[in-house]
Structure 1
Amino acid sequence: MNNPSMEKATAEQISAPPRGEPAAVDVVYGWHGNNRVELLENGEAYFPRVFEALRQAQTEILLETFILFEDKVGNELQQILIEAAGRGVRTTVSLDGFGCGELSTGFLADLNKAGVHIQMFDPAPKHLGIRTNWFRRLHRKIVVVDGTIAFLGGINFSADHLADFGPEAKQDFAVEVQGPAVADIHHFALLQSGRPARAKYWWQRRKQRRAELAFNDHDGQVRLVYRDNGDHRTDIEEVYRQVLRSAQRRVVIANAYFFPGFRLLREIRNAARRGVDVRLILQGQPDMLVAKIAAHMTYDYLLKAGVQIHEYGDRPLHGKVALVDEDWSTVGSSNLDPLSLSMNLEANVLIRDCAFNRELFKRLEDLSNNHCKAMDASQSPRGRVWHMTVGFLVFHFLRHFPAWAGWLPAHKPRLKPFRGHRS
């Protein structure tokens, strides 16, 4: 299936960006059917599948991640990428300058010497031992291998996504996608890596049609949606608001950092008020205390409308997933907080597939029933004058946050190739 919006774009509109600058491209990706989509929970499921795909790569690897640590996961990834580059696979790795700011020069130099093309998104030196490049991060987690298999979600390349890390191990999700939708994810990853990604030629479209036929037993509909600081600042938030307005039976949202704007909060509340079973799974054991404090400010507003709020307390929740009714789901990198919705570079996949929805619901229902504490209205802050005042100020701030965020002083973030030294 071809994407009409991509077909209309000329080569000039979607060619490589100026050297050193991340791509800012106005492409809206459409729905593709006949995909095979598999839910991957935590590093135990995710890392083996990704690493096996990378080991089997023949022509190309595109990898973006917010965090890469020099631990057992990061070291294994490093060796796999070195081996892939050594056998002639064109390998491009894009890392965030904040999330990967602690990587050693030696770790990166070994990749670079092997032929891996490494680029850092907006690196910055520390000032008085403190990193200052906090905002407008490359927060996506995308892997595309040979243009035929893609992985996308919230899982970084770090050992804290494995249960044996201990009490601070993260609970998270990702997806593996095979089928026609991979062409869009591949196209997007190419653009973001600074490499040319042009409209498809006739033989590429023919190859894509063959891929659709190969997956004709699977009716999974998949669409890529992303957030940037150009023409797609609110795309992910708007998708959430639209699907909440159409919800008829159930909504389940599991999100690590929950502090959305007023319009999204209002759609969640309105869905519950009209009788939709709305359930939020949020952090009960946060890796950052401020995240829990922020989320708690929304509890009274939502609980009074009938929204069920469950706090997951076994370990830090890091997932960014949701489902609506029996066929719609989303998995990705975007939290529902000001950073993800107004500043960071994010990517989610939208999925219309009943089997996938059932599987995700089963996993989330187990979390909420067996590993969460249910909140009730008596536990939310209300009634006191200062609570009401803070609530009013917070909601008013949230309502206008996306516009205000654009006024913050900011330089233009760049993708900088690694040259054997750190900036």
Structure 2
Amino acid sequence: MKKRDDEQGWVGGNRLQLLENGEQFFPAVFAAIEAAEREVLIETFILFEDKVGLALHAVLLAAARRGIRVELTVDGFGSPELSEAFVCGLTEAGVRLHVFDPPPRLLSRRLRPFRRLHRKLVVVDGRIGFIGGINFSADHLSDYGPEAKQDYALRAEGPVVAQLHRAAQRLIAPAQTPTPLPPPPIGQAEALLATRDNHRHRDDIERFYRRALHAARHEVIIANAYFFPGYRLLKSLQRAARRGVRVHLILQGRPDIPWATWAARMVYHRLIRAGVCIHEYRERPLHGKVALVDEEWATVGSSNLDPLSLALNLEANLMVRDRAFNAALRARLLPLMREHCRRVELEQTPARRWWWPLGVGALAFHVLRHFPRWAARLPARAQGRRELGAGARTEQPAQAWQWRAGEQAPGPAGR
């Protein structure tokens, strides 16, 4: 992939830890915030005012009160129902709370609800970083019940954290983003932050996936919650399988958004015929966005493999080249695939069972084939950002919705 002039590229010397579900992710994040000495930067699509959101609220209040710079950015569509008490508690303690491009009450011609901040990033002191698919909500904990989500994140230390820091800082102050000094080497892993936006990085994450698939020699495992990729990525999966690579897809079998699984099943027939093995996870809703190729390449992040993530949302994935991390991820995914999934056989695909899905699937396939190119023509203005609290700057873009504590926007999708 051609390196953009504002990317830092692959960097070595990192220590990476895979975190599974909220039971591992939330304590690690809260401990890092409690130990912060200078700064905490957080981006999340969903922040709910449940036991997880209240626990985050408490550690951020404590950090701000001891003089730590705290910047919290939430998506206006994904986090619409924070109470006035919740917001005011943060801002009065000194937390700077940013709301990314809240949508209007009625769908506008600018299609604003379809360009969201879907990234999940945490950076503490420019030294420790977290990235993945886990939102700050209780449905990522097993005690939530049958609808608790299965998901993954990653804790990073080392030079790559400077890339996470730069990405988080640029979102809240694009004109005031100095290049941070990278932390010293602390491990062996090579890593790179890949982002997707609506300007210079429209297809970076997809291209990293395709490049890894083209280089695959014997194994690919992809676990992804919302799977409806474009034509080029589908072809890359098919070609890998046809040349003898074992390609396994772990997809939703108990969906939290039923139409997403219906869409994914429209391409099952095509993939299985090429030799791709599809496994539907049946234990609970799958929310992960992870993949590995052979022994050396892996990714963990926020990007689904569907049109919203690949062509519209702001996303962030960490690309990893490290045998130890790859082995750790594989050790988590293999039992998931073997013990908690149902393998889909060719005769079970819609195209073989009924004649009408064949036509619907063909139409859907050609729509998704061209969707990224069509989406690129949608209005791609700079999304607004509203900062709340005393002393907040007012020079926000004109398109920003003047969100006030207590107001509500349309409810989010569980992504």
TM-score by length of 2: 0.90
Measured after TM superposition, the shift of residue 386 of structure 1 is 2.9
Query: Within the alignment, does 1:268 sit opposite 2:237 as a pair?
Result: yes
Secondary structure of the 2:350 match is: coil
Measured after TM superposition, the shift of residue 134 of structure 1 is 2.5
Equivalent AA in structure 2 for residue 150 of structure 1: G
Query: Within the alignment, does 1:417 sit opposite 2:387 as a pair?
Result: yes
Contact 2:199 2:380 in 1 (8 A): no
Choose from 130, 133, 150 the match for 1:171.
150
Contact 1:98 1:133 in 2 (8 A): no
Structure 1 runs (4+) greater than 4 angstroms displaced: 409-412
Q: C-alpha separation between the residues in 2 aligned to 1:388 and 1:291?
A: 17
Choose from 278, 300, 303 the match for 2:269.
300
Greater mean deviation of Cα atoms: 389-398 or 361-370: 389-398
**Which residue number in structure 1 is paired with residue 168 of structure 2?**
189
Q: C-alpha separation between the residues in 2 aligned to 1:73 and 1:388?
A: 44
Q: How has the CA–CA distance of structure 1 residues 409 and 188 changed in structure 2, closer, same or farther, with 3 Å as cutoff? A: closer
Q: C-alpha separation between the residues in 2 aligned to 1:92 and 1:377?
A: 49
Secondary structure of the 2:274 match is: coil
Query: Within the alignment, does 1:46 sit opposite 2:46 as a pair?
Result: no
Secondary structure of the 1:99 match is: coil
Query: Within the alignment, does 1:153 sit opposite 2:132 as a pair?
Result: yes
List gaps (5 residues or longer) in structure 1. 7-25
Q: C-alpha separation between the residues in 1 aligned to 2:383 and 2:322?
A: 37
Choose from 285, 291, 300 the match for 2:254.
285
Q: C-alpha separation between the residues in 1 aligned to 2:57 and 2:194?
A: 29
**Which residue number in structure 2 is paired with residue 81 of structure 1?**
60
Measured after TM superposition, the shift of residue 369 of structure 1 is 0.3
Contact 2:103 2:113 in 1 (8 A): no
**Which residue number in structure 2 is paired with residue 401 of structure 1?**
371
Secondary structure of the 1:112 match is: helix
Please give the per-residue CA displacement for 1:281-322, whole angstroms capped at 9, x wherever unaligned. Answer: 000000000011001001000001110000001100000000
1:1-400 maps to which residues of 2 (within 5 A)? 27-127=6-106, 133-194=112-173, 196-199=176-179, 204=181, 208=183, 211-212=184-185, 215=186, 218-383=187-352, 385-400=355-370
Please give the per-residue CA displacement for 1:188-231, whole angstroms capped at 9, x wherever unaligned. Answer: 1111121622235xxx46xx4xx12xx2xx31001000000001
The count of corresponding residues between Structure 1 and Structure 2 is 386
TM-score by length of 1: 0.88
Contact 1:29 1:225 in 2 (8 A): no
Equivalent AA in structure 2 for residue 186 of structure 1: H
**Which residue number in structure 1 is paired with residue 397 of structure 2?**
none
Measured after TM superposition, the shift of residue 173 of structure 1 is 0.1
Equivalent AA in structure 2 for residue 109 of structure 1: C
Secondary structure of the 1:304 match is: helix
Measured after TM superposition, the shift of residue 327 of structure 1 is 1.0
Measured after TM superposition, the shift of residue 127 of structure 1 is 4.7
List gaps (5 residues or longer) in structure 2. 391-403, 408-415
Secondary structure of the 1:50 match is: helix
Measured after TM superposition, the shift of residue 34 of structure 1 is 1.3
Q: C-alpha separation between the residues in 2 aligned to 1:71 and 1:386?
A: 43
Measured after TM superposition, the shift of residue 388 of structure 1 is 2.8
Measured after TM superposition, the shift of residue 387 of structure 1 is 2.9
Secondary structure of the 2:114 match is: coil
Contact 2:250 2:281 in 1 (8 A): yes
Q: C-alpha separation between the residues in 2 aligned to 1:199 and 1:149?
A: 17
Contact 2:198 2:380 in 1 (8 A): no
Measured after TM superposition, the shift of residue 36 of structure 1 is 0.4
Q: C-alpha separation between the residues in 1 aligned to 2:145 and 2:355?
A: 41
Q: Percent same amino acid at aligned positions?
A: 53
* Cα RMSD after superposing both structures: 1.8
Please give the per-residue CA displacement for 1:31-81, whole angstroms capped at 9, x wherever unaligned. Answer: 111110000000000000000000001100000000000011000100110
Contact 1:161 1:171 in 2 (8 A): yes
Q: C-alpha separation between the residues in 2 aligned to 1:146 and 1:411?
A: 31
Measured after TM superposition, the shift of residue 168 of structure 1 is 0.4
Equivalent AA in structure 1 for residue 235 of structure 2: R
